[in-house]
């Protein structure tokens, strides 16, 4: 039995000798290349997303929508939000680009790990900003519609006829909040699908880099 075990060990050792053994630099180079490719895709997707929403806004923009915003007394607020939105999105696109360049130029695993963490942090901030700006638009539009929209008088009249205006408004706001929550969950899933796969690749690369440092 022992002789057979020794023979198996020797056979396995012979097979190991024929397996190519990668050096630290080769493994690091592969991880760096994969990380660089992933961050490049994040950069490209952010540009595509920016262009998509910009084109959509231009298509949906009309004199009627402009007049509606003025009628609802939210034109100044929505304009300010739009300017802030584009400025911040351009900043994030710039950050994605600089992170991509940093990874391309990084020559140590520790610096690469730090850059990967920065990319993950930037993507998280980017997603939450998009969700936050969307919520801001919703709240402003809801405020304008309830106070100055065509149905605002009907809503106020229904609240008066309900007998208890407080309960009516609480129930109405509750339904609105549920609707907003559903929309936000859908947006979150969209970003999870869009960037989640890429971030999971970066997490895997980060773990591999940590093993190299051990």
pLDDT (tens digit per residue) in 70-103: 888 899 999 999 999 999 999 999 999 999 988 8
For residue 21, pLDDT beyond 80: no
Determine, yes or no, domain membership for 14.
no
CA distance 31 to 208: 8
Domain that holds residue 50: 24-150+196-213
Phi-psi region of 73 (alpha: psi -120 to 50; beta: other; left: phi over 0): left
Q: Average pLDDT of the chain?
A: 81
Residue 163 maps to a domain: no
Q: Domain for residue 117, yes or no?
A: yes
The answer to whether residue 155 is domain-embedded is no
**Does 160 map to a domain?**
no
pLDDT band for 20, please (50, 70, 90 cuts). low
Please tell me the predicted confidence (pLDDT) of residue 107.
75
Determine, yes or no, domain membership for 158: no
What CA–CA distance (Å, rounded) separates 184 from 113? Answer: 31
| Residue 210 · residue 113 · CB < 8 Å | yes
157 belongs to a structural domain: no
- Residue 16: pLDDT band by 50, 70, 90 thresholds? very low
How much is the pLDDT for 188? 87
Residue 2's pLDDT is 45
The structure's pTM equals 0.78
pLDDT at residue number 123: 92
Q: Give the residue-averaged pLDDT of 141-163.
A: 75
Residue 98 located in a structural domain: yes
How high is the pLDDT of residue 40?
92
Number of domains in the chain: 1
């Amino acid at each position: 039995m022992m002789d057979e075990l020794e023979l198996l060990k020797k056979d396995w050792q012979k097979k190991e000798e024929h397996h190519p053994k990668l050096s630290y630099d080769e493994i690091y180079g592969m991880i760096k290349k994969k990380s660089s490719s992933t961050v490049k895709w994040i950069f490209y997707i952010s540009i595509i997303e920016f262009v998509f929403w910009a084109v959509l806004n231009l298509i949906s923009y009309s004199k009627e929508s402009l007049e509606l915003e003025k009628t609802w007394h939210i034109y100044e607020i929505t304009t300010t939000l739009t300017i802030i939105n584009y400025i911040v999105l351009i900043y994030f696109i710039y950050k994605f680009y600089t992170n991509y360049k940093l990874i391309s130029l990084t020559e140590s695993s520790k610096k690469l790990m730090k850059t990967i963490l920065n990319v993950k942090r930037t993507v998280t901030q980017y997603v939450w900003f998009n969700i936050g700006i969307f919520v801001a638009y919703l709240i402003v539009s809801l405020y304008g519609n309830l106070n100055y929209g065509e149905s605002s008088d009907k809503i106020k009249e229904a609240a008066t006829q309900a007998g208890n205006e407080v309960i009516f408004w609480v129930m109405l706001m509750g339904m609105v909040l549920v609707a907003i929550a559903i929309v936000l969950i859908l947006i979150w899933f969209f970003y999870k699908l869009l960037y989640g796969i890429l971030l999971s690749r970066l997490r895997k690369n980060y773990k591999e880099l940590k093993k190299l440092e051990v």
